[in-house]
Chains A and B, each alone.
Chain A
Amino acid sequence: MPTPQMRRHMSQWGGVVDNSANEWNFQFVTTGGDLTVTPVITRHGGAGTATWIWGDGSPNSVGDAPNHTYPGVGTYNVTLQITDIDTALDGINFAGDGLVCTLASLPRGMTWLEAFNEGDCVVSGALANMPAGMTRVVLGGTSSTFTGALTDLPVGMTWFNLGATSVALTGQIADLPAGIIYFILRQTLSTISGALANMPVGMQTMALYSMTSLSLTGGAAVGAAGIRSLTIQDNAMAQVQMESIALWGYTYRASFTFGAPSMNMGGTNDNPGGVYQDASPPTTALERVFKVVNDPDAEGFNKWAWTY
C-alpha cells in the first residue's frame, strides 16, 4: 500500500490520479514578472472546502478563488484538496498562472481547464490520457505539449483551443468528435488533412493556423452550415487546394446560416487562381471569392469576409 507521500508522487509524475486522497497535485512556475497566482475553481456542486497547499512553506489557503504571492522565482509543488474532488470539481481557470501538469494527472470529473494566453503554462501528455468527460480545453497561447490523434479527443469535447503551443496532433477533419464547436490549433506541429465537408455539424470556429502540415479540400457537402470563422492561413497549401475551398464556399453559399462568416486562407498558402472580379458564371477561385464576398447577383446569402 503506497504511503500518502508515495501516492502524491505517483499522481504528479506517474499520471496516476489518486482520487482516494481527494487531491490534485500539480506545479506552479513563477517568473520575475509575476509571482502571484489566482486560480478560480468552478464546481459541479457539493460541499467541502478547497484547500491549497502552495508548496513554499507558507500557510495553506482555503477557498475556490485564492490569491497567493510566491516569495520568488521558482517551481513549486502544489496540492489542491477538495472533499469528493471527482464529483465536486467542474473546472479551473488558471489565466495568468504558470500551471504545469500532465493530462493524465487531471482529476477525474474535471470537465474543463483554461489557461488562455499564459505562456508559462505547460500542460503535457497524450490526448488519450485526457480524462473522459472533458468538454473544454482552452490553452491557446500557452507552452503546452500535446501529442496524439484526433480520434483520441474525448466524446463530448466542444471547445478545444491549443493555439500557439508545442502541440503535435495528427488526424483527419472527419475524426473530430461530433458536437465539437470550436477547434483551434494555431502555430503547432500538427499534421491534419481532410475536407471541409467533413466538419462536424455545429462547428462554429475552426482555426488551423501555421501547422507542420495541413492539407484541406472543400468537398461535396457544406459540413457545418453555421460556421462563423475558418482560419487556415500559413500552411503552404497548394493552389489546387485553394481552388477547392473557394469552390466549396461558392457552391454552398446559400447554406451558411451565420450572418457574418469569415475566411482567412492567405499567408504562405498558394494564391488562389484568377482575378478578384465579377464573372457569371465564375470559373476561377477569385471570381468565386468575389461572388461570396459581394453577392453581385443579389441572391441574398450571407456574405463572407475572405482573406487570401
Chain B
Amino acid sequence: MGVDILMASHDILIRSGWLWALDRSDGDVTGLPEGASLILENDWKQMCEAAGGEKALIAALGAEDMRDE
C-alpha cells in the first residue's frame, strides 16, 4: 500500500552529516558551500542498489536523514 512520494524524484544533498532532499526543477541552480555533496537522483539510486538499499547506504555514509523533517 505504500508510496514513496517524498523520497522519489529528488536529488540528495549531504552536508555536515545531514541528508536533505532537493527538488531541483529544470533550470534551477544550487549554490553549494564547501564540504557539501549534491548527488543526482539517478546516481543516488545506483549507489543505493550497490549498498543493498537506501537505509544501508545512509548508514554507511554516516548521515542523518532529514527528509521527513
Residues in B neighbouring A264, C-beta threshold 8 A = 22-23
Contact B23 A289 (CB under 8 A): no
Q: Report whether B69 and A182 are in contact in the complex, using a CB–CB cutoff of 8 Å.
A: yes
A293, B31: Cβ atoms under 8 Å?
yes
* A-B pairs with beta carbons under 8 Å apart, 21 shown: A117-B2, A117-B5, A138-B68, A140-B5, A141-B4, A161-B68, A161-B69, A229-B66, A234-B25, A259-B16, A264-B22, A266-B29, A276-B29, A305-B20, A305-B31, A305-B33, A306-B31, A307-B22, A307-B28, A308-B28, A308-B30
A135-150 vs B, Cβ < 8 Å mask (1 yes, 0 no): 0001011000000000
Task: Please report B residues at the A interface, Cβ cutoff 8 Å.
Answer: 1-7, 13, 15-16, 18, 20, 22-25, 27-34, 36, 66, 68-69
Query: Which B residues lie within 8 Å of A161 (CB)?
Result: 68-69
- Interface residues of A, dominant DSSP: loop
Task: Write out the residue numbers on chain B whose beta carbons fall within 8 Å of the beta carbon of A271.
Answer: 27
Q: Are B66 and A141 in contact (CB under 8 A)?
A: no
Which residues of A are at the interface with B, using a C-beta cutoff of 8 A?
A: 30-31, 33-34, 96-98, 116-120, 138, 140-141, 159, 161, 163-164, 182, 184, 186-187, 204-205, 209, 228-229, 231, 233-234, 259-260, 262, 264, 266-268, 271, 276, 289-290, 293-295, 303-308
Residue of A nearest to B28 (CB): A266
Give the distance in Å from the alpha carbon of A210 to the alpha carbon of B5 in the complex.
14
Most buried by A among B1, B27, B32, B36: B1
* B1, A97: Cβ atoms closer than 8 Å: yes
Residues in B whose Cβ lies below 8 Å from that of A141: 3-6
Question: Closest 10 interchain pairs by CB?
Answer: A266-B28, A303-B33, A293-B31, A119-B3, A260-B16, A34-B1, A267-B25, A307-B30, A141-B5, A164-B5
